[in-house]
């Protein structure tokens, strides 16, 4: 609900559990007055204190009043060069070379429903949303800034985005344009980020916000394995189920900057948006720039509630479900079994073994196209390698159909190998700086997706493949960071636009693919989880979480991922042991339990599986299908963090009649102590039957717990299925 008080010019956004407020003051500066647990619509500017602070300057309108400074007041969208020395949200260069920005309130509008962004992914929906637009103006620069707020009341979600318009007669260069600025007065916060590297993505890091700026960013042209564009601020005592925390996620897949500052007054500011590094966007007179959307969430009751609300909002108001609620097929992918060395017979051998086990989709990964036998050649040549797949994908699809399976394929549209027909025909299509040799990574170069003709060429080739057979799934991969970022199609003064134009180009093709194949499931991937963000999830309902399929490492990766992203979005497969990345052998049961709290599938040579393994796989796929709704759409509770002797989590159905508890032990030790696991989210009064046997009341299971059997080996696991009787 949006409440506007025209007299006091206070704008209050209410969600079910939270309230957000801003106010235009006497000098038309838009102050941020509150974000926290839900309260009334009182004007909270009474909390702001005014005092003369040394070296904090005063705007001319304040006259002799030295207590009024942009440097100390909580700002809704911070400016620069005219008194606020903290993190700025916006910077632009005027024709005279000046860099200051001074924004003043100029009006507002309340609109029903949700605003949409052209060419950019954003949360969507109908009447469940309300929109507030606040108009700001820099009169001297003739630049206006529109702040958009989308309010999704039931899920405590506030989305924000920013549009900058050049209303002058000369070009303006936009150098920084954050999507979100959030000021807090007098809080003592921890800053939580999700960091890692290829094969070990999104590890949670929590640090006390100390004086100065702490930040995470990507400059790789993708959101990256290294830092995720989702960050949190929380009270120092905050945990899974208590105390105040805030989450902020950027709906964007390119370079980003998330910066948190603790100021001289021990205030805090968070900004999140496109990374200003190598960013400069020319706004001709009348032109506008729209920053990507940011999603904001506040939970008065700890991280768990925040994640559950985010999961719901992402599942129901961001992701487009091509299957419209139907269960996606359980898949098998041959990559870890064969890499690019395969024949049609080899693939069909795996498929023949998979079909009777309840596996319904066969994904042909890298290696089916061009001259692609390893990762040094073939990218860009999107036509079938008939030597490996005689009769093409259509012949394979027909053979799979006989087995009752559908076909999916891997593609990597943004890339090209120098050893490819595409590169030989168009060597100038790869990103490259004139006069410099190009930098290779995985022996590949990056196509300039900021250029429409290049995108069109690639998309037409891929479309011909998609039209050549019945293909129900595509894995869209992206296997390197961007370097030599320079576009031959843009003049010297506009090279600062290439990183962002590249991302817009990727979104353009994803959107076309989504429109052309509305029922095809697209899985995102970037060397595993290098582009796991809300921008990609808008187009690709699931993303391959990591190239690391080791069940124990995956516990950490999926734990960190779960803070923002729902189980249904996490690509997870059971693979062979010893694991290709870690050399570790974990039981098949455990690998199943871990992959099941993701999209679930297999990535191993099932034709080599033993009878006992096949029986277990059959049980796993049957169990997953039976409990699909609960696992994928249930409320997700983290029962432990990663520090203890086991890791546990739980999904609870929205009506609390069912729950699934999953637990994985670490390495075993002698004389393990007796332990009990406390459950969460149950109906305290309901009687639950556990694994079809013993019954216990919900309050007992939550307060006293369930006794854990002692493991008899390393990395064992356990699942408890609870049903209210
Ligand atoms: C990336 C993906 C893998 C696989 C390979 C193929 O690393 O993350 O799953 O598809 O590429 O080259």
pLDDT at residue 348 greater than cutoff 90: yes
In the reported structure, the alpha carbon of residue 412 is separated from the centroid of ligand 1 by a whole-number distance in angstroms of 9
In the reported structure, the alpha carbon of residue 350 is separated from the centroid of ligand 1 by a whole-number distance in angstroms of 18
How do residues 646-656 score in pLDDT, each as one tens digit? Answer: 999 999 999 99
Confidence band, pLDDT 50/70/90 cuts, at residue 240: very high
- Say if residue 24 is preceded by a cis peptide, omega within 30 of 0: no
How do residues 363-389 score in pLDDT, each as one tens digit? Answer: 999 999 999 999 999 999 999 999 999
Confidence band, pLDDT 50/70/90 cuts, at residue 71: very high
In the reported structure, the alpha carbon of residue 399 is separated from the centroid of ligand 1 by a whole-number distance in angstroms of 25
How do residues 588-631 score in pLDDT, each as one tens digit? Answer: 999 999 999 999 999 999 999 999 999 999 999 999 999 999 99
Could you give phi then psi for residue 60, rounded to 5 degrees? -60, -35
pLDDT at residue 186 greater than cutoff 90: no
In the reported structure, the alpha carbon of residue 587 is separated from the centroid of ligand 1 by a whole-number distance in angstroms of 24
Ligand 1, residues at Cβ distance < 6 Å: 335, 365-366, 375, 410, 477, 479, 525, 527-528, 544, 547
DSSP-assigned beta bridge partners for residue 623: none
Mean pLDDT of 188-203: 98
How do residues 261-298 score in pLDDT, each as one tens digit? Answer: 999 999 999 999 999 999 999 999 999 999 999 999 99
How do residues 78-93 score in pLDDT, each as one tens digit? Answer: 999 999 999 999 999 9
Residue with CA at minimum distance from ligand 1 atom 12: 366
In the chain, what percentage of residues exceed pLDDT 70?
Answer: 100
How do residues 489-511 score in pLDDT, each as one tens digit? Answer: 999 999 999 999 999 999 999 99
In the reported structure, the alpha carbon of residue 352 is separated from the centroid of ligand 1 by a whole-number distance in angstroms of 23
Mean pLDDT of 232-256: 98
Three-state SS string over 395-428 comes to HHHHHHHHCCCEEEEEECCCEEECECHHHHHCHH
Query: H or E segment at 612?
Result: helix 611-626
Confidence band, pLDDT 50/70/90 cuts, at residue 7: confident
Mean pLDDT of 7-15: 95
Q: Which has the closest alpha carbon to 466: 508, 499, 515?
A: 515
| Other CB atoms within 10 A of residue 723 CB | 18
Instruction: Identify the residue whose tokens are 């038309």.
Output: 28
In the chain, what percentage of residues exceed pLDDT 90?
Answer: 99
pLDDT score at 462:
98
pLDDT score at 706:
98
| Other CB atoms within 10 A of residue 333 CB | 25
- Closest ligand 1 atom to residue 526 Cα is 8
DSSP one-letter code for 157:
E
Taking the C-alpha atoms of residue 519 and residue 690, their distance in angstroms, rounded to an integer, is: 37
Mutation to probe ligand 1, out of 374, 376, 547 (largest number of atoms < 8 A from CB) = 547
Going from the C-alpha of 42 to that of each of 74, 90, 431, the distances in angstroms are: 17, 29, 54
pLDDT score at 643:
97
In the reported structure, the alpha carbon of residue 527 is separated from the centroid of ligand 1 by a whole-number distance in angstroms of 5
pLDDT at residue 578 greater than cutoff 90: yes
- Closest ligand 1 atom to residue 475 Cα is 10
DSSP 312-368: HHHHHHT---TTTTSPPPPEEE-HHHHTT---HHHHHHHHHHHGGGT--EEEE-TTS
How do residues 691-702 score in pLDDT, each as one tens digit? Answer: 999 999 999 999
In the reported structure, the alpha carbon of residue 47 is separated from the centroid of ligand 1 by a whole-number distance in angstroms of 53
- Closest ligand 1 atom to residue 603 Cα is 9
Taking the C-alpha atoms of residue 274 and residue 327, their distance in angstroms, rounded to an integer, is: 35
pLDDT at residue 13 greater than cutoff 90: yes
Residue with CA at minimum distance from ligand 1 atom 6: 366
Q: Are strands 361-364 and 406-411 parallel, antiparallel or unpaired?
A: parallel
Taking the C-alpha atoms of residue 250 and residue 182, their distance in angstroms, rounded to an integer, is: 14
Cβ-contact 322, 541 below 8 angstroms: yes
DSSP 642-670: SSSSEEEEEEE-TTSSEEEEEEEE-S--T
Average pLDDT of the chain to the nearest whole number: 97
Mutation to probe ligand 1, out of 370, 413, 522, 527 (largest number of atoms < 8 A from CB) = 527
Residue with CA at minimum distance from ligand 1 atom 11: 527
Going from the C-alpha of 410 to that of each of 147, 214, 359, 474, 496, the distances in angstroms are: 39, 38, 18, 6, 32
Residue with CA at minimum distance from ligand 1 atom 2: 527
Q: Which has the closest alpha carbon to 501: 177, 682, 204, 279?
A: 279
How do residues 677-691 score in pLDDT, each as one tens digit? Answer: 999 999 999 999 999
Confidence band, pLDDT 50/70/90 cuts, at residue 6: confident
Three-state SS string over 1-46 comes to CEEEECCCCEEEEECCCEEEEEEECCCCCEEEEEEEECCCCCCHHH
Tokens matching residue 102: 């001074």
Residue with CA at minimum distance from ligand 1 atom 7: 527
| Other CB atoms within 10 A of residue 116 CB | 12
pLDDT score at 546:
98
In the reported structure, the alpha carbon of residue 250 is separated from the centroid of ligand 1 by a whole-number distance in angstroms of 25
Mutation to probe ligand 1, out of 479, 550, 570, 575 (largest number of atoms < 8 A from CB) = 479
pLDDT at residue 194 greater than cutoff 90: yes
Mutation to probe ligand 1, out of 408, 525, 573, 581 (largest number of atoms < 8 A from CB) = 525
pLDDT at residue 130 greater than cutoff 90: yes
Mutation to probe ligand 1, out of 199, 222, 364, 410 (largest number of atoms < 8 A from CB) = 410
In the reported structure, the alpha carbon of residue 490 is separated from the centroid of ligand 1 by a whole-number distance in angstroms of 32
Terminal alpha carbon distance of the chain: 39
Confidence band, pLDDT 50/70/90 cuts, at residue 8: confident
Tally of residues, the chain: 725
Taking the C-alpha atoms of residue 223 and residue 208, their distance in angstroms, rounded to an integer, is: 24
pLDDT score at 498:
98
- Which residues are catalytic, by number? 533, 613
In the reported structure, the alpha carbon of residue 528 is separated from the centroid of ligand 1 by a whole-number distance in angstroms of 7
């Amino acid at each position: 609900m949006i409440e506007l008080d025209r007299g006091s010019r206070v704008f209050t956004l209410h969600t079910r559990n939270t309230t957000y407020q801003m106010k235009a003051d006497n000098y038309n500066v838009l102050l941020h007055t509150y974000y926290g647990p839900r309260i009334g619509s009182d004007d909270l500017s009474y909390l702001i204190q005014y005092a003369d602070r040394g070296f904090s300057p005063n705007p001319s309108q304040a006259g002799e009043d030295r207590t009024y400074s942009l440097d100390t007041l909580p700002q809704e969208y911070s400016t620069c060069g005219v008194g606020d020395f903290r993190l700025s949200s916006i910077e632009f260069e005027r024709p005279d070379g000046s860099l200051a920005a001074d924004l003043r309130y100029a009006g507002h509008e309340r609109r029903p429903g949700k605003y949409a962004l052209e060419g950019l992914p954003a949360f969507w929906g109908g009447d469940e949303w309300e929109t507030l637009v606040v108009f700001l103006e820099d009169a001297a620069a003739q630049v206006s800034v529109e702040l958009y707020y989308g309010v999704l009341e039931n899920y405590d979600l506030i989305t924000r985005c920013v549009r900058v318009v050049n209303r002058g007669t000369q070009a303006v260069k936009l150098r920084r344009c954050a999507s979100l600025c959030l000021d807090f007065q007098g809080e003592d916060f921890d800053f939580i980020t999700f960091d890692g590297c290829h094969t070990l993505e999104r590890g949670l890091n929590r640090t006390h916000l100390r004086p100065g700026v702490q930040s995470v960013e990507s400059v790789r042209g993708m959101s990256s394995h290294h830092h995720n564009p989702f960050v949190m601020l929380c009270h120092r005592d905050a945990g899974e189920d208590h105390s105040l925390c805030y989450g902020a996620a950027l709906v964007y897949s390119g370079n980003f900057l998330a910066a948190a500052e603790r100021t001289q007054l021990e205030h805090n500011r968070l900004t999140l948006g496109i990374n200003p590094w190598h960013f400069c966007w020319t706004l001709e007179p009348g032109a506008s720039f729209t920053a990507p959307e940011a999603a904001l969430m506040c939970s008065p009751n700890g991280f768990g509630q925040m994640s559950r609300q985010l999961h719901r909002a992402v599942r129901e108001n961001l992701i487009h479900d091509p299957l419209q609620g139907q269960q996606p097929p359980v898949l098998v992918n041959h990559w870890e079994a064969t890499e690019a060395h395969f024949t049609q017979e080899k693939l069909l051998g795996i498929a023949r073994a998979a079909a009777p086990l309840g596996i319904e989709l066969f994904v042909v990964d890298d290696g089916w196209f061009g001259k692609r036998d390893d990762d040094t050649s073939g990218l860009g040549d999107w036509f079938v390698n008939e030597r490996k797949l005689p009769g093409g994908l259509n012949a394979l699809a027909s053979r799979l159909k006989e087995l009752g399976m559908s076909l999916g394929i891997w593609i990597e549209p943004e890339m090209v190998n120098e050893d490819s027909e595409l590169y030989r025909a168009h060597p100038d299509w790869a990103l490259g700086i004139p006069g410099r040799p190009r930098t290779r990574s995985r022996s590949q170069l990056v196509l300039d997706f900021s250029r429409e003709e290049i995108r069109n060429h690639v998309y037409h080739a891929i479309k011909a493949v998609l039209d050549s057979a019945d293909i129900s799934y595509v894995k869209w991969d992206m296997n390197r960071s961007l370097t030599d970022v320079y576009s031959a199609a843009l003049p010297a003064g506009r090279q600062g636009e290439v990183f962002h134009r590249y991302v817009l180009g990727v979104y353009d093709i994803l959107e076309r693919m989504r429109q052309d194949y509305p029922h095809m499931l697209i899985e995102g991937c970037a060397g595993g989880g290098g582009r796991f963000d809300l921008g990609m999830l808008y187009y690709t309902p699931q993303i391959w979480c990591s190239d690391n399929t080791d069940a124990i490492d995956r516990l950490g990766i999926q734990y960190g991922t779960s803070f923002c992203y729902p189980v249904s979005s996490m690509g997870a497969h059971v693979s062979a042991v010893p694991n290709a990345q870690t050399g570790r052998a974990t039981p098949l049961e455990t690998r199943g339990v871990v992959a099941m709290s993701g999209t679930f599938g297999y990535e191993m040579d099932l034709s080599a599986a033993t009878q006992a393994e096949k029986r277990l796989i059959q049980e796993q796929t049957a169990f997953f299908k039976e409990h699909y709704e609960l696992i994928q759409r249930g409320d997700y509770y983290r029962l432990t963090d990663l520090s203890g002797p086991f890791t546990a989590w739980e999904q609870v159905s929205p009506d609390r009649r069912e729950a699934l508890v999953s637990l994985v032990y670490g390495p075993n030790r002698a004389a393990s102590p007796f332990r009990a696991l406390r459950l969460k989210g149950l109906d305290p009064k309901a009687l639950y039957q556990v694994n079809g046997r013993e019954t216990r009341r919900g309050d007992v299971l939550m307060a006293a717990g369930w006794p854990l059997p002692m493991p008899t080996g390393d990395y064992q696991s356990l699942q408890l299925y609870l049903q209210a009787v």
